[in-house]
Amino acid sequence: MSRSAHPAGPRHADVLSEGHYAAPPADLNSLDPKVWAQTVTRDADGVVTVGGVPVTRLAEEFGTPAYVLDEADFRARARAWRTAFGQDADVFYAGKAFLSRAVVRWLAEEGLNLDVCSGTELATALSAGMPADRIAFHGNNKSAAEIERAVGAGVGRIVLDSFQEIVRVAHIAQSLGKRQRVQIRVTVGVEAHTHEFIATAHEDQKFGIPLAGGQAAEAVRRALKLDGLELIGIHSHIGSQIFDMSGFEVAAHRVVGLLREIRDEHGVELPEIDLGGGLGIAYTSDDDPREPHEIAKALSEIVTRECEAARLRTPRISVEPGRAIVGPTAFTLYEVGTIKPLEGLRTYVSVDGGMSDNIRTALYDAEYSVALVSRTSDAEPLLVRVVGKHCESGDIVVKDAFLPADLAPGDLIAVPATGAYCRSMASNYNHALRPPVLAVRDGAARVVVRRETEDDLLRLDVG
Ligand code: LLP
């Protein structure tokens, strides 16, 4: 497997092109609305502002590096998904992309549901007041304690991921005197990333129960027999950063095939189908993601058509977008520390963060954009590599990008579209203190997740 293979399948990295930034953009000072949060703009002095707050003020007040989250944009995107799917479908925000109590409150207010995949994500959701019945609990190895907590809290659904778990959840629900609503996660043999998908007969991965070999049908058989479980539907998640809807089409076809088998064998029409998350966002100006209303329309047409063909009542659809909601709403603000031109090779620009706040470039070969945000510049474009301050040569934030040639230490630069899977996958490598998440709105900024301190780290180290 290639070094840059995506955990959900090797193709994610393979399809990313080399030499992405073949030509400099026409205007280095412009901010492409595709990759920047909605309220991002430059003020009269050329300083980038977000939610009406200049980044220079954010850096002064809160320090760098920092994740800066545009609250109005987050709410607008959440609302757009909710509205697009309407009353006959449910949108579960995938908390793994980024979860904090502020975000949970925004989601609750905007009418979204929440997908959590650990006991601690569940605790975060509950502590911020997300009603338990709007929470779905995921994971391929939920502990007994996590299951007890979820069932006890009354979560809306647990997504069953293995044969052992079917029995475990049934047992725990029964011992708590409850009947737990569950879905069974199946693997449909579709793997989709970016512009391509592969449909195979089987799938070699840890999640879900394969449709192949009648395994999913057997799981359904067992779940239907257990008093502690109320089987409400089938779940499928096919990949991430997907632009092409045809993978969903094959997945829906296969899931509906299972629904038909269930009807024929048990006389039961399961009322729900969850098609997971994975919808792509723009990391660079070359990406063209679809709007939520197009996605909702496409998915609903696919499921309706498949169900009509199978003569099944169309089930209620749910989806679990994480990246597509939070990804574009945040950027990471860094200060430039050193600039190292290597004659005949490239110029390295080092910032005060790196792979500890964004592991995606190192892990997936992910592409990002970057801009000088504390001022404008008329200098020539310079092809650079933006790197972090960690003791590792793979500590790359943006592989290839153009920044103005007069870039200098002390300048602020920002990497857009870092709302998803950056803070949530951040580490303390080299004892880095994980950056804060600042929410900006209507000219005001507030800390929603504070910066870690030396004391935080030393408290864990009990000596
Ligand atoms: N539902 C399920 C069952 C999932 O496993 C995932 C993501 C989602 C929903 C949300 O997917 P999204 O809409 O955010 O793509 N760390 C990787 C992504 C891993 C995704 C894992 N599952 C990355 O940074 O690209």
Query: Is the separation of the CB atoms in 242 and 9 below 8 Å?
Result: no
What's the pLDDT score for residue 194? Answer: 82
Angle at alpha carbon of residue 325, lines to 204 and 70, rounded to 5° = 140
φ/ψ (deg, to 5) at 153: -70, -20
Atom of ligand 1 lying closest to residue 237 CA:
3
Query: Is the separation of the CB atoms in 335 and 410 below 8 Å?
Result: yes
Please check the confidence at residue 14 and state whether its pLDDT lies above 60: no
User: Based on the domain organization, do 288 and 334 belong to the same domain?
Assistant: no
Full domain range(s) for residue 307: 138-321
User: Based on the domain organization, do 255 and 288 belong to the same domain?
Assistant: yes
What CA–CA distance (Å, rounded) separates 337 from 350? 6
Whether the CB of 281 sits within 6 Å of ligand 1? no
What's the pLDDT score for residue 24? Answer: 87
**Closest residue to atom 17 of ligand 1, CA basis:** 421
106 in any annotated domain: no
Average pLDDT, the chain: 94
Please check the confidence at residue 1 and state whether its pLDDT lies above 70: no
Measured on CA atoms in the order 200, 206, 207, 208, is the torsion positive or negative? positive
pLDDT band at 20 (very low <50, low <70, confident <90, very high): low
178 in any annotated domain: yes
Atom of ligand 1 lying closest to residue 324 CA:
13
Ligand 1 centroid–CA 62 distance in Å is 30
Whether the CB of 323 sits within 6 Å of ligand 1? yes
Told to judge if 422 belongs to the known catalytic residues of this protein, a careful annotator would answer no
pTM given for the model: 0.95
Which alpha helices (DSSP H) does 190-245 contain, by range?
Answer: 215-225
User: Based on the domain organization, do 455 and 333 belong to the same domain?
Assistant: yes
Please check the confidence at residue 9 and state whether its pLDDT lies above 90: no
What CA–CA distance (Å, rounded) separates 115 from 103? 13
Q: Side-chain half-sphere of 411: how many Cα atoms within 13 Å?
A: 21
Measured on CA atoms in the order 252, 253, 254, 255, is the torsion positive or negative? positive
User: Based on the domain organization, do 352 and 437 belong to the same domain?
Assistant: yes
Atom of ligand 1 lying closest to residue 425 CA:
16
User: Based on the domain organization, do 226 and 317 belong to the same domain?
Assistant: yes
> Which of 321, 344, 369 is the last residue in one of the domains?
321
Annotated catalytic residue: which of 117, 307, 391, 422?
391
Q: Report the CATH number that the domain containing residue 378 is assigned in CATH.
A: 2.40.37.10
The total of structural domains in the chain comes to: 2
**Binding region:** 278, 320-323, 360, 364, 392, 421
Query: Is the separation of the CB atoms in 223 and 179 below 8 Å?
Result: no
Ligand 1 centroid–CA 88 distance in Å is 24
User: Based on the domain organization, do 350 and 316 belong to the same domain?
Assistant: no
Q: Tokens at residue 71, please?
A: 């609250």
Phi-psi region for residue 177, left (φ > 0), alpha (ψ -120 to 50) or beta? Answer: left
What's the pLDDT score for residue 12? Answer: 44
Please check the confidence at residue 432 and state whether its pLDDT lies above 60: yes
**Binding region for pyridoxal 5'-phosphate:** 278, 320-323, 421
What's the pLDDT score for residue 51? Answer: 98
Q: Report the CATH number that the domain containing residue 200 is assigned in CATH.
A: 3.20.20.10
Please check the confidence at residue 17 and state whether its pLDDT lies above 80: no
What's the pLDDT score for residue 22? Answer: 66
Ligand 1 centroid–CA 55 distance in Å is 29
pLDDT band at 404 (very low <50, low <70, confident <90, very high): very high
Please check the confidence at residue 136 and state whether its pLDDT lies above 80: yes
What's the pLDDT score for residue 4? Answer: 42
The dihedral over CA atoms of 214, 219, 222, 226, expressed in degrees to the nearest 10, equals -160
What CA–CA distance (Å, rounded) separates 132 from 150? 8
**Closest residue to atom 16 of ligand 1, CA basis:** 421
Mutation test of ligand 1: which of 135, 237, 275, 360 has the most ligand atoms closer than 8 Å to its C-beta?
237
Tens-place pLDDT, residues 176-230: 999 999 999 999 999 898 888 888 766 788 999 999 999 999 999 999 999 999 9
> Which of 321, 351, 381 is the last residue in one of the domains?
321
How far does the chain reach from its first CA to its final CA, in angstroms? 39
131 in any annotated domain: no
Ligand 1 centroid–CA 122 distance in Å is 17
> Which of 321, 336, 362 is the last residue in one of the domains?
321
Ligand 1 centroid–CA 94 distance in Å is 7
CA distances from 266 to 221, 272, 310, 436 (A): 8, 16, 15, 52
Tens-place pLDDT, residues 308-335: 999 999 999 999 999 999 999 999 999 9
User: Based on the domain organization, do 59 and 158 belong to the same domain?
Assistant: no
User: Based on the domain organization, do 311 and 358 belong to the same domain?
Assistant: no
What's the pLDDT score for residue 23? Answer: 83
User: Based on the domain organization, do 262 and 224 belong to the same domain?
Assistant: yes
User: Based on the domain organization, do 227 and 262 belong to the same domain?
Assistant: yes
3-state helix, strand, coil in the chain (%, to 5): 35, 25, 40
78 in any annotated domain: no
pLDDT band at 21 (very low <50, low <70, confident <90, very high): low
Whether the CB of 77 sits within 6 Å of ligand 1? no
